[in-house]
Amino acid sequence: MHSKIEEVLRLAVANKASDVHLCFGLTPKMRINGELSEITNIGVVDDGELILSLLSEEQKERFLKEKELDFSVTMDTARFRANIYTQKGLPSCVLRVISDEIPELETLNLPETLKTFTQLRQGFILITGPTGQGKSTTVAAMLNEINKSASTNIVTIEDPVEYIIKPLKSIISQRELGGDTVSFDRALKSALRQDPNVVFVGEMRDLETIQLALTVAETGHLVFSTLHTNSASQTIDRIVDVFPEGSKPQIRIQLASVLSAVVSQRLIPAIRGGRVPAVEILTACAATANTIREGKTFMIDNVIQTGADLGMVSLEMSLARLVKKGLVDEKVAMSYATKPVELQSYLRSLKQDNG
């Protein structure tokens, strides 16, 4: 790795940045609390070899052939999940900063319900949300909670491996696409022969991976995965829509029988700096299963609103609670709400309770 790139990455870690952008012809930038800022003392990235210095010779060959590549970078202070790509024929790279330490669930300001999901012996748990909203951190914290509390065999399939989970009570096998396996579906088929208790599929990208993940959950394992979707209802639609029309009724039945929870999260700018998560949670119950089986995902929001005693929470209720706790400004919360009128109603109700 070139010394200039190393300096950029160290600055990102020191400033608690979430991402680093290296674009040919521009000064490096880092994202802090959701906002991009320039790293002015490094100068313009005017040499493609600076960016390519992040790659091994084998990775460089793959990148020059495929024009883009996911990989990981390790330094003494942190790890980075990286994507290198070409634009206008020149290399650019984005690196996500990953802490050496896996945070405790309690320190992430996440609902206590998430800890109960780690105590399940089987099922299908989906952590969803847009890029950069903390999905990987949430999954790592949940897997490490299992690692600390139970003697299990945990197999992860990632592209690339992000948080390194150190074995405590559990066996941990972390497999990276490209280095340890050629594809998610091949690794999932193999995982069934590895005596797993818990399987984490880094991302469900295609029909075969989704089908295999459902099958692994159906055969008595606890499966975690992530999706780039904005809500529980959108997550269910995304999974079902991947399949051909004739297969959809069977997939709805299969998904309804194995789904334990969908957690959709956003990171919201906090009053005191940094960001805190707002989450929508859908949990398994008869109403959830019926809604999925019957293809009535438009009713998922109603299921969530009436399922508070089962640990369910809407995004708007989560935002209202953050405002009530003094963690998030009311105007900021309103800007993140998908149903502002509903959020206003929750806020009025919480204020009346305080009164």
Q: Where are the domains of the chain?
A: 3-98, 105-313
Tell whether the model's pLDDT for residue 291 goes beyond 80.
yes
Domains 3-98 and 105-313 in one fold: no
Which pLDDT score is estimated for 77? Answer: 67
More confident call, 252 vs 35: 252
- Cα–Cα distance measured from residue 183 to residue 177, given in angstroms and rounded to the nearest whole number: 6
The CATH number given to 105-313 is: 3.40.50.300
Amino acid at 170: S
Other CB atoms within 10 A of residue 239 CB: 27
- Read off the pLDDT band of 355 (50, 70, 90): low
- Read off the pLDDT band of 41 (50, 70, 90): confident
Tell whether the model's pLDDT for residue 168 goes beyond 90.
yes
User: Would you say the C-alpha torsion 15, 140, 107, 266 has a positive or negative sign?
Assistant: positive
**90: which residues sit within 8 A by CB, 6+ positions away?**
24, 25, 48
- Read off the pLDDT band of 47 (50, 70, 90): confident
Average pLDDT over residues 123-135: 94
pLDDT > 90: percent of the chain: 84
pLDDT tens sequence across 215-267: 999 999 999 999 999 999 999 999 999 999 999 999 999 999 999 999 999 99
Hey, what are 327's tokens?
């963690």
Residue 80, beta-bridge partner list: 73, 97
Q: Given strand 171-176, what is the order of strands in its sheet?
A: 171-176, 153-158, 198-201, 222-227, 123-128, 259-269, 275-283
Contact 152, 197 (CB under 8 A): yes
Residue 259, beta-bridge partner list: 124
Residue 111, beta-bridge partner list: none
- Cα–Cα distance measured from residue 204 to residue 141, given in angstroms and rounded to the nearest whole number: 20
Which pLDDT score is estimated for 354? Answer: 63
- The helix/strand/coil state of 101 is coil
Mean pLDDT of the chain: 93
Tell whether the model's pLDDT for residue 205 goes beyond 90.
no
- Read off the pLDDT band of 340 (50, 70, 90): very high
DSSP annotation string for 205-265: -SHHHHHHHHHHHHTT-EEEEEE--SSHHHHHHHHHHTS-GGGHHHHHHHHHHHEEEEEEE
Contact 98, 163 (CB under 8 A): yes
Q: Which fold has domain 3-98?
A: Beta-Lactamase (3.30.450)
Tell whether the model's pLDDT for residue 293 goes beyond 60.
yes
pTM over 0.85: yes
Contact 304, 267 (CB under 8 A): no
Torsion of CA 149, 151, 153, 158, to 10 degrees: 20
Tell whether the model's pLDDT for residue 100 goes beyond 90.
no
Which pLDDT score is estimated for 352? Answer: 73
